[in-house]
């Protein structure tokens, strides 16, 4: 794997991007070259490529957040067995499973689970249906019941809670997202749609 940071002028932004790339590689327990190249033709001053895939310069007005670099590295790894985890496997991980399955190639197996599974939240099923994903058959699963042979990549989505632990060998990333909640149906649905939007954005980089 090769990561290249091109820039028109070496500055603190470039140093920060390189530091984020090193941190992402460390989290995934990978090693890779991070080339830094001065290039006067780079639009916007900085460009980042991972194995010849050029990352978008900004996402929602934010320049090169850590998750974006992580997603670019994950894209280069070409995962074939993705496991999405949160505690109850009822909301965030259910949405993550549905979105990843929608975007991933047909030969990628996508699963979700939790350490204390309950049942899929109706709001999660509803927001997936809004983007054409039928999750009516989804169930909540215990991470202990997942066959390690079917997983090569794990993404945890828990935020303030203690994340589930998958004991199999896999690449691991943590994308902490707030547990979608609200005082009424309108605010709850807004929170679930926000989680969906965030996961679509991230998995589009991985699988798009």
Catalytic residues: 86, 158, 163
Q: How far apart are CA 131 and CA 56, in angstroms?
A: 23
| Joined tokens for residue 38 | 């001065």
Phi and psi torsions of 50, nearest 5°: -125, 110
Give every CB contact of residue 124 below 8 A, 6+ residues apart in sequence.
Answer: 90, 91, 94, 95, 98, 135, 192
The residues pairing with 114 across neighbouring beta strands, listed in sequence order, are 142
Nearest by Cα to 172 from 68, 105, 87, 85: 85
Measured CA distances, 101 to 46, 94, 182, 191, 201 (Å): 32, 11, 27, 21, 14
């Amino acid at each position: 794997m090769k990561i290249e940071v091109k820039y028109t002028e070496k500055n603190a932004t470039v140093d920060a991007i390189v530091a984020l790339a090193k941190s992402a590689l460390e989290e995934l327990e990978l090693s890779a070259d991070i080339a830094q190249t001065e290039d006067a033709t780079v639009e916007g001053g900085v460009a980042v490529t991972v194995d010849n895939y050029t990352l978008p310069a900004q996402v929602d007005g934010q320049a090169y957040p850590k998750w974006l670099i992580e997603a670019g590295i994950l894209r280069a790894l070409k995962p074939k067995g993705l496991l999405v985890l949160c505690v109850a496997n009822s909301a965030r991980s259910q949405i993550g499973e549905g979105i990843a399955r929608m975007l991933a190639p047909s030969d990628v197996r996508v699963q979700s689970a939790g350490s204390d599974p309950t049942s899929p939240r109706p709001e999660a099923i509803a927001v997936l249906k809004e983007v054409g994903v039928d999750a009516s058959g989804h169930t909540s699963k215990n991470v202990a019941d997942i066959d390690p042979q079917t997983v090569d990549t794990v993404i945890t989505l828990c935020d303030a809670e203690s994340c589930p632990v998958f004991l199999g060998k896999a690449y691991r990333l943590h994308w902490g997202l707030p547990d979608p909640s609200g005082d009424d149906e309108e605010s709850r649905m807004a929170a679930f749609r926000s989680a969906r939007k965030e996961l679509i954005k991230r998995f589009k980089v991985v699988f798009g």
